[in-house]
């Protein structure tokens, strides 16, 4: 399963020119419609990145270093412990479907974060 997933991700990465946002809202919308499992994989990758930023921010703070804006942004969301990949994929895909088509021009990771922030914004403490 991991090899198949890596092959899919590699194929996606090689299908177009290099740019700062490899997946835009249109791409994400198409994944939601045609391949929800791939959409879930993308969404979880974005969430893992922000989760890593939260941990990095905590490590920096514990070491007496200033916490950057990215780390502070990551602190805005805490997923309930029973949240599944299907839950977050559904939240993102439903959010994107509810937006005007023009919204799809934005970077996929930004759309994921906006959707998750609206769906799961809570006090993390």
Buried b (16+ CB within 10 A) or exposed e, 33-57: eeeeebbbbbbbebbeebeebbeeb
We report the CATH number of the domain holding residue 42 as: 1.10.890
Query: Is 80 domain-assigned?
Result: yes
Would you write out the chain's pLDDT as a tens digit for each of its 125 residues? Answer: 556 554 555 555 545 554 555 899 999 999 999 999 999 999 999 888 877 666 666 666 677 766 665 556 656 677 788 888 899 999 999 999 999 999 899 999 989 988 988 888 765 65
Domain that holds residue 77: 22-120
Query: Is 12 domain-assigned?
Result: no
The secondary structure element, H or E, covering residue 24 is none
Q: Report the domain count for the chain.
A: 1
Query: Is 17 domain-assigned?
Result: no
Query: Is 87 domain-assigned?
Result: yes
74/14 Cα distance (integer angstroms):
29
pTM attached to this predicted model: 0.70
């Amino acid at each position: 399963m991991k090899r198949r997933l890596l092959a899919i991700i590699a194929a996606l990465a090689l299908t177009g020119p290099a740019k700062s946002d490899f997946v835009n809202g249109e791409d994400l919308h198409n994944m939601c419609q045609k391949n929800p499992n791939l959409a879930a994989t993308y969404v979880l990758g974005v969430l893992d990145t922000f989760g890593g930023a939260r941990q990095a921010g905590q490590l920096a703070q514990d070491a007496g270093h200033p916490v950057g804006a990215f780390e502070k942004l990551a602190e805005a969301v805490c997923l309930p412990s029973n949240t599944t990949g299907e839950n977050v994929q559904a939240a993102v895909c439903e959010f994107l479907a509810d937006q005007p088509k023009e919204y799809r021009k934005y970077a996929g990771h930004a759309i994921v974060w906006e959707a998750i922030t609206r769906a799961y914004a809570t006090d993390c403490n």
